[in-house]
Amino acid sequence: MGSKGANKSFDYNLIKILDAVILSGNAAMAAKKLGITPAAVSLALKRLQSYYPEELFS
């Protein structure tokens, strides 16, 4: 884990959201599949990114 995320509890639901984004191809479709808003998906991806120094998406 990156140093930015070292003091945080990890929320494994973030991985579920990342998986949905990867499988569906975009955040809006993932949100629809998961029954959440696109804004919630975006926030989850930002939270997940905070654990890693590398970019999740380029």
Give this prediction's pTM: 0.80
Whether 20 is covered by a domain: the verdict is: yes
Whether 33 is covered by a domain: the verdict is: yes
CB 49 within 8 A of CB 56: yes
Q: 33-47: buried (b, 16+ CB within 10 Å) or exposed (e) per residue? A: ebeeeeeebeebbeb
pLDDT digits (tens, 9 = 90+) for 3-37: 555 556 889 999 999 999 999 999 999 999 999 99
Whether 8 is covered by a domain: the verdict is: yes
- pLDDT, residue 6, reads 56
Choice between 53 and 58, residue whose per-residue pLDDT is larger: 53
Position 38 confidence tier, pLDDT thresholds 50, 70, 90: very high
Whether 18 is covered by a domain: the verdict is: yes
